[in-house]
Chain A
C-alpha cells in the first residue's frame, strides 16, 4: 500500500516538460493520509480495549502480569444481565416503529398536504432536541410508566422513528415503484396484494437496513435511557456505565469487548445491505 507516496513536483507552469513526458499517476498524499488517519482513529481504541481485556493486571501497564482470558470469562455473566433487557427493548421499539412508522413514511412519500410539513418537522424534532431533555421531559410527564419499562420503549420509539421515515420514505416515493404499483393495479391487484407483492419486495433492502439501524440505535441508547430506565432492570449501556465508573479497567474493557461482539454482526449486515442497495440501484 502506498500510504506515503512522494508528492508530485509542484504542478503548474514550472514543469510543463515533466507533464508532457507521460501522464503521471497521481498520488494525493493529503487525502489518503486523512483517510488512513480516520481509520486509525476509529480502530486504535478498540485495539487498546482488546489489549486491556487480555491483560492480567492493567495497573502494571499493558500485558502487565501476562495475557489472560480471566476478565473476558468473568465479565460474561455481568454482560448477560443487561443483554436480555436491551434486546427486548430494541425488539419492542422496532416493532412499534414499523407499525406506526411505515404508514407515516407512506403518507410522507405519497401525499402533498400542507399539514405534512409540520408532521415531518415534528418527526425530525428528536434529532435536534438533546436526548437528555427528551428523557427528563418524559419522566417528568409520565413518572408512573417508568417501572413497567413502557416509558423506556416509548422514548426509544420517539428517537428512532425519524430514521425509519428517512430511510423508507424516499424509496416509497420512487417513481419506478409507483409505476410498478400502477401496473399491478391495471392487472387487477388490489391494495393489499399490491403492497405485499410489489411494494414490500421493492423496499425490502432499505426497510431491512432501517430495521437493523433502529435495533442498533435502541440497543446502544444511553442519553435518554439513563433517565427513564427502570433501575432494577438496566439495559446494557446502563450497566456498562456502572462498570466504567466503579469497576476495574480490565473488567470494563472485557465488557466493552462483549458489547462489540454483540453489535458487530449487525454492523456487518448493515454494511452488506448497503452494498446490495447500491448494486440494485445500478
Chain B
C-alpha cells in the first residue's frame, strides 16, 4: 500500500530518472526506545539531481529525525535509503558522501575557516595540492574567500552559515542536508539571508534536503515541499501544487494559510459547506470532475473570498492581523463550527461580523482525501 503510493509519487516527480535520484527514501521509520509512537513512520520521497526538497512541519513532527536518518546519524527501524542509486541504508555517516550542515552550523572552534573547509578532504586523504584547489573553489562558491584565515568565533551568523556550506560542498557530496539553516540567525537578518541562501543553493546546483518549520523558508528555498505531521508524510509536492490542491486543512493552513472545509452535495446543483453555506456548483472549480455521490470538501485559498454585503456567508470575526495591503481575518462562519481564515484588502471595513462571497471560479470542490493518502 505504502510502496504503491511512494512509487506513484516518485513517478510523478522523478519519472524515468528515478534510478538516478540523489535520494530515494522508502518507508523510513524511526522508533525511539520507550516512546509511545514512532518519531518517523513510513516516510518516503525522492529528491532528483539538483532538486531542493524542504521537509516542513510543526516541531516534533519528525522532520529533523528524517534528515538525520538520511545523514546516517539516526538508525532506521524500517525502510530503505538509496543515495545516487546506491543502497546506503546501513552505511556509516563517514562513508555516505553527504554534506551535513547542522542547525548550529557545527564549525570546529579550534580550526580556521580554511581548515574547517578542508577537514572533509583531509579525512578522505585528498592530496594537499588538490585539497588547496578544492578549498579555494568551495570558499569562492560560498563567497567567503576573504575569511579563510579567521577563526569561527570571529564570524557573524551569516558568515558561519556560508562557511558550513562551503565545508559541506568541498567534499563534492551526493546530497546537501541542511537542518533549520536559518534558525540560528537573528530574525531581522533572516529575510535577507534567505534570499542569499536560495541563490547559493541555486549556484551550487546540488540535490538538497533542508528542514524548516517556517513555510516562508520552504516556499523561498525549495523546489518541492514535504509536509510532515506526527511522524507521517502528509503531502509532498511543488509549492504551486500545494497551493492549488492542499492535501487537507492542516496543509492548507500551514503552507498557504488557507482552508479545507467539509462539504456535502445539497442535491440541487449546489453544495452545502460546513453545514451553513450553500454554493452553486457552477461557480466552483473542479465541479466537472467531482463525484457527488462521495464525500466532498472545498478548498479556500486565503484570497478566494471577497467582502460583499449581499454575500451568503457571515463570518464571526475573532481576530484581525494587519499585513499592509491586506488584512488577515480569522473567524467562524455564523452557525458553523469550523475555523476560517481569509485575506481581504486592507481598505475593507471590518466589524465583529462580515459577509463574504466567493470570487467567481476560485474556490474549488473535490472529493475528500482518504486519511494518510499522500499525493
Contact = CB atoms under 8 A, between A and B. Distances in A.
B102 A197 contact: no
A189 B92 CA distance: 11
Interface size bracket, B side: 20 to 34
B80 interface: no
A202 B106 CA distance: 12
Interface residues of A, number: 17
Query: Which of B95, B97, B108, B177 gathers the greatest number of chain A CB atoms within 10 Å?
Result: B108
Interface string B326-357: 00000000000000000000000000000000
A185 interface: yes
B94 A185 contact: yes
Contacts of B71: 182, 186
B103 to A, nearest CB: 8
Given A179-B102, A183-B100, A197-B119, A188 B108 contact: no
A158 interface: no
Interface string A190-208: 1001000110011000000
Nearest to B164: A183
A109 interface: no
Contacts of B106: 179-180, 182-183
Contacts of B94: 185-190
Nearest to B118: A187
Nearest to B115: A197
Contacts of A198: 108
B96 interface: yes
Query: Is chain A's interface secondary structure helix, strand, loop, or mixed overall?
Result: helix
A202 B100 CA distance: 20
B73 A182 contact: yes
Nearest to B120: A187
A186 B119 contact: no
A189 B125 CA distance: 10
A188 B92 CA distance: 9
Interface in A239-278: none
A184 B102 contact: no
B171 interface: yes
B98 interface: yes
Contacts of A182: 71, 73, 93, 100, 102, 106
Contacts of B96: 186
B124 interface: yes
Interface string B112-151: 0000000110011000000000000000000000000000
Nearest to A185: B93
Given A182-B73, A193-B123, A187 B167 contact: yes
Nearest to B173: A186
B18 to A, nearest CB: 25
B167 A179 contact: no
B97 to A, nearest CB: 8
A186 B108 contact: no
Interface string B145-184: 0000000000000000000000110010000010000000
Given A182-B73, A182-B93, A201-B110, A187 B102 contact: no
27 contacts: A176-B104, A179-B102, A182-B100, A182-B102, A183-B106, A184-B119, A185-B73, A185-B94, A186-B73, A186-B94, A186-B98, A187-B167, A187-B168, A187-B171, A188-B95, A188-B97, A188-B120, A188-B123, A189-B94, A189-B120, A189-B123, A190-B94, A197-B108, A197-B119, A201-B110, A202-B109, A202-B110
What 9 A-B pairs are tightest by C-beta distance, nearest first? A187-B120, A186-B100, A183-B106, A189-B123, A185-B93, A188-B123, A201-B110, A188-B124, A185-B94
